[in-house]
Chains A and B, each alone.
Chain A
């Protein structure tokens, strides 16, 4: 059934794209958290 081929193509692209976006977003979050932690703690120390 040619129909299923298109279905899997569409579903595949969509969920792959969303997962990739989530992955890159989480990586960006981790990077910012790492950057932010020393800034926050140094502010606390100075106070």
Chain B
């Protein structure tokens, strides 16, 4: 039993170390190695944060969805802890994505905020995440909180494609075309060292995300164990 826990800790430490290394590599490739953009200059380097962040945010919601489904099916506390951990970290990454998008927007579009599809969608995702966390904190009975937030996790995830569709239709029918489109994914005509920087930063974010998630999950499990032990202390 103790050996398994030790292995998990060691695995986490390894994950954390590799996350740190790839983050540093990402910083090097993004800030030093990659060239400045032809149109946007150096401000474009924020993309190396923004695109990995947004993908990590969506990954997080997917994990909330999986955890919620598993919990409603099997009713094992670990799945609920997984869902709530992913939600907590998801809020963080989503909020950061919005901040990055806003800061990127100022030098490229001239404004701190615009209702373009991507920023709007990220803001909606943040609202759903926040709703999830608030629901959990405002329901007193723990089992009920777990069940109810699982329902929100599932419905929210099912809604995301519909939200995407409606927001994209809304924006493309009304927004006049603009020359600078930093919200376009520049897969074609991209400088190879930019692609490398993007890839390295993407790996860095994923590793960092899973490190934080595993740590948060571990804390959640320990808190649950502490609660259970205190509950049964009288009867032992």
Q: Do chains A and B touch in the complex (CB under 8 A)?
A: yes
Q: Which residue of A lies closest to B95 (CB)?
A: A17
Closest to B41 in A: A3
A22 (CB) vs chain B CBs: closest residue: B212
Partner of B212, one of A4, A9, A10, A25: A25
The SS class assigned to the B binding surface is helix
8 A Cβ contacts from A9-27 to B: 9-11, 13-14, 17-18, 21-22, 25-26
In-complex Cβ contact of A7 among B31, B99, B236 (8 A): B31
Pick the residue among B31, B100, B215, B225 that contacts A26 (CB under 8 A). B215
Residues from chain B with Cβ under 8 Å of A26 in the complex = 215
Bound-state Cα–Cα, A36 to B45, Å: 45
Best-buried of A7, A28, A33 by chain B (most CB within 10 Å): A7
Interface size class of B (residues with CB under 8 A): 35 or more
The distance from the CB of A33 to the nearest CB of chain B, in whole angstroms, is 7
- In the complex, per-residue mask of B101-112: 1 if CB is within 8 Å of any chain A CB, else 0: 001101100000
Instruction: Give Cα A43–Cα B41 distance, bound, in whole angstroms.
Output: 62
- Tell me the complex Cα distance, A26–B214, Å: 12
Q: Does B158 contact A (CB under 8 A)?
A: no
Bound together, the chains give a CA A3 to CA B36 distance in angstroms of 10
Docked-complex contact A10 and B233, CB < 8 angstroms: no
B43 close to chain A: CB less than 8 A: yes
| B36 surroundings in chain A (CB, below 8 A) | 3
Determine whether the beta carbon of A13 is less than 8 Å from that of B99: yes
- Write the nearest CB–CB distance from A39 to chain B, whole angstroms: 4
A21 to B208, CA, bound (A): 12
Task: Say yes or no: is B21 at the interface (Cβ < 8 Å to chain A).
Answer: no
- B216 in contact with A39 (CB, 8 Å): no
Nearest A residue (CB) for B215 = A25
Shortest C-beta distance, A20 to chain B (Å), equals 10
Closest 3 CB pairs between A and B? A3-B42, A3-B43, A3-B41
